Amino acid sequence: MNRLRAWLKEQGVVIVRPGLGAGGIVTLRLRRPSGSEFEIDFYPDDLEANPDAAIEYLKPIISRR
């Protein structure tokens, strides 16, 4: 998670509201520098095992918003 947080900070993206969803899913409400917000969910085991995969997943999403 620390790797993902550091990458988000580099991109100017703020975690507005972290949370846990059903079944322990990590839910993050993110805000881009432009002010737009969106929510994304990750399985905690996947996020811990491979944070770079989460970053690669987020790259096109962040660039679109």
CA dihedral sign, ordered 1, 54, 19, 31: positive
Cα 48 to chain centroid distance, Å, stands at: 12
d(CA 47, CA 65): 22
- β-strands 14-20, 37-42 pairing: unpaired
Q: What pLDDT is attached to residue 62? A: 86
Q: What is the pLDDT of residue 61?
A: 87
> Position 18: which residue type?
P
- Does residue 5 register a pLDDT over 70? yes
